[in-house]
Amino acid sequence: MEKAEARSGNAIAQLLKFAGPRRCLAYVGSALAALNGVLTIVPLVLVWFVLRDFVAVAPRYELAADATLWAWLAFAVAVVGALCYFAGLMLTHTAAFRVAANMRKACLAHVAKVPLGYFDANASGRLRRIIDGCAGQTEDVIAHKMPDFIASCTAPVAFLVAMFLFDWVMGLVCLIPVAVSLFAMWWMMGRDVPEGGRFFMQRYQEALNRMSTAATEYVRGIPVVKVFQQTVHSFKAFHAAIIDYRDMATQYVNFCRLPQVVQLVAINGTFAVLVPAAILLAASAGDFARFLTDFLFYVVFSAFTTTVMSKIMYASEALMMAEDSVRRVNEILAVEPMEEVRSEAAEHVSDASVALRGVTFSYPGAAVPAVRDVTLEVPAGATVALVGPSGGGKSTLASLIPRFWDPQEGTVAVGGADVRAVPTAELMDTVAFVFQNDRLFKGTLADNIRMGRPDASDEEVRAAAEAAQCADIIAKFPEGLSTVVGSAGVYLSGGECQRIALARAILKDAPVVVLDEATAFADPENEALIQQALGRLAAGKTVLMIAHRLSTVVDADLIAVVDGGVIVERGTHDELLAAGGLYARLWANYQQATQWKIEGGGAHAA
């Protein structure tokens, strides 16, 4: 609730900045809306003139010569008012679309520059909700609510002026409910109290986010709940999120109860003050006919007040939403981008070596570093394996090479150049990264592979698929490489997805390959195919491999054992076995586990 809570006015100004030069459309649209607010009063006044003329000559109505003129004038002003409103809306809509589009573009352009590791901590669903949802919300605010709000504010001002044309005492009486209603609205939304509307939208959105995240976790975990016969309460986070949301909403409703009732009574109760005032004033009215026509004007106006105040109320709510949207979008835009080196200061990759020197890195907000003072040289063409207990820091080390994060201390060099000084495109061309759970995008298998090198020919895509042992996947579907991933009936197992991802990396043909080996493959057949694909990918390349199964690292040029964020041992397989340290223990455990598997399998077969 600190600096981010821009006031509604600021929020609109910040939103309009996204419209660029087109924000003048929003200003002109708002001016037209303001004019329309004034013009809605004028026909009421003119109709009152008609009434006054008729009352003055009653019952010889044909003598009211000007009445027709006033009536036509009222009609003309109403038409001009409607045209102003229409033109204003057209302009605010154009500005609103521009704001929403530019907001989306700014966020997308910015997230493209933030460290890739940012996406680990910020689920794609949450980012999508902010980028798309907030932009959508602001569209409605700029296009409709802002002009409505302005028109609704200028109308009472115009009325204040008009009021002096008639009976100003009755005019003042009519304004009492308006004043009470504005006070109630300020009470609900304007005050800087923690339970007030100003902060409600932020807390409401946060509670909703927590609830939807917890709900997703809950749905994902349903199989576990069923298998272990747990109740809903086992999902404490979901339950707590619902209770939290309920408490927050209840607190807000309790807070709003009194001011909302006062406001609704006030905006609907103009008659309650107008009629007694009229009764009191009638006794002292000199010209009763004139008094009656004035009274009629205020009767018509009181209905108008209700509409105006309702519009102000809804617009205020929308402005609070805009404020919240701006805050969320600003949160994204405030994420420190990864600096792109200026071309004159750029360093270029000269070979396929990788070197980490004195590297220390802590995740944002983490109390202890995930890796500490790590130095590791990987000569061009060598295969280095990172092994070690879970949580030791292997993936973190590997992720520093393609700049998922930048280390706080030390340097990471590829081909002799500090990765921070290598232009992003050059670094991405040099390093291929194969994740444990590589995702496939909605699109054909060929599109998914071609992402490795967009200008690759169909033949090259096919060759990469074959090298990655994908022949059986392609043969499985009648449309082969043109099969759309994610369409009905197209399901790829984890191992199959990884082979497609390997084909993508093979097609990319980058000289440095960072491999995060999958912990578990679906079946031995898949595993053997993946090993072959990995072999094809690694041939002739510099490979940094995070290995979970030690059988794959036996032939590595160097094995680095990572534990507690530091490299505790390094050497070849034989050297490390001879040293009898952590690696030797891990190897013994691994051998035992494999033995157990074989025996278990044998027993099962028997």
Ligand X SMILES: Nc1ncnc2c1ncn2[C@@H]1O[C@H](COP(=O)(O)OP(=O)(O)OP(=O)(O)O)[C@@H](O)[C@H]1O
* Single-letter code of the amino acid located at 67: A
Contact positions with ligand X (CB under 6 A) in 102-131: 120-121
Q: Are 562 and 394 in contact (CB under 8 A)?
A: yes
Instruction: List the one residue out of 199, 203, 178 whose CA is nearest residue 189.
Output: 199
Sequence length of the chain is 606
CA distance 516 to 498: 11
Cβ closest to ligand X, residue 263 vs residue 396 = 396
* Stretch near ligand X under the rule CB under 6 A, chosen from 104-112, 318-326, 329-337, 384-392: 384-392
Question: Binding to ligand X by residue 231, rule CB under 6 A?
Answer: no
Minimum gap (Å) between residue 494 Cβ and ligand X? 16
Q: How far is CA 494 from the centre of its chain?
A: 28
Q: Which of 40, 152, 396, 469 binds ligand X (CB under 6 A)?
A: 396
Encode 277-312 in three state secondary structure: HHHHHHHHCCCHHHHHHHHHHHHHHHHHHHHHHHHH
In this chain, which stretch among 191-199, 225-233, 394-402, 529-537 interacts with ligand X, using CB under 6 A? 394-402
Question: Which CB atom, from 26 or from 370, has the smaller least distance to ligand X?
Answer: 370
Across 32-57, b (16+ Cβ under 10 Å) vs e yields bbbbbbbbbbbbbbbbbbbbbbbbee
Distance from C-alpha of 290 to C-alpha of 201, rounded to nearest angstrom: 49
Looking at the Cβ atoms of 77 and 376, the one nearer to ligand X is 376
Stretch that binds ligand X, among 75-83, 187-195, 387-395, 420-428 (CB under 6 A): 387-395
Least separation in angstroms between CB 542 and ligand X: 20
CA distance linking residue 215 with residue 238, whole number of Å? 6
State how far the Cα of 495 lies from the Cα of 515, in Å rounded to an integer.
Answer: 15
Whole-number Å distance between alpha carbons of 242 and 233: 12
* Site residues (CB under 6 A) for ligand X, limited to 173-202: none
Closest distance of CB 121 from ligand X, Å: 5
Among 391, 486, 580, 601, binds ligand X (CB under 6 A): 391
Nearer to ligand X by Cβ, of 437 and 591: the residue is: 437
CB of 487 or CB of 551, closer to ligand X: 551
Q: Which two tokens stand for residue 219?
A: 């749905």
Distance separating alpha carbons of residues 488 and 297, to the nearest angstrom: 66
390 in contact with ligand X (CB under 6 A): yes
**Other beta carbons within 10 Å of 524:** 9
363 interacts with ligand X by CB under 6 A:
yes
Reply yes or no: is the peptide bond before residue 59 cis, omega within 30 of 0. Answer: yes
Question: Stretches 126-134, 362-370, 419-427, 438-446: which one binds ligand X (CB under 6 A)?
Answer: 362-370
Q: Least CB distance from residue 401 to ligand X, whole Å? A: 13
Minimum CB–partner distance for residue 356 and ligand X (Å): 14
Nearest CA among 184, 32, 180 for reference residue 95:
32
Residue 157 C-beta: closest distance to ligand X, Å:
54
Q: Which is nearer to ligand X, 50 or 370 (CB)?
A: 370
* Residue number, 133 or 364, with CB nearest to ligand X: 364
What's the min distance (Å) between Cβ of 152 and ligand X?
Answer: 48
Can you tell me which of 52, 98, 327, 394 binds ligand X, judged by CB under 6 A? Answer: 394
Select from 106-114, 330-338, 390-398, 468-476 the region that touches ligand X (CB under 6 A): 390-398
Question: How far is C-alpha 193 from the chain's CA centre?
Answer: 27
**366 lies in the site for ligand X, by CB under 6 A:** yes
Of positions 29, 147, 392, 415, contacts ligand X by CB under 6 A? 392
Distance, in Å, from the CA atom of 562 to the CA atom of 388, rounded to the nearest integer, reads 5
What is the contact surface with ligand X in residues (CB under 6 A)?
Answer: 120-121, 363, 366, 370, 388, 390-396
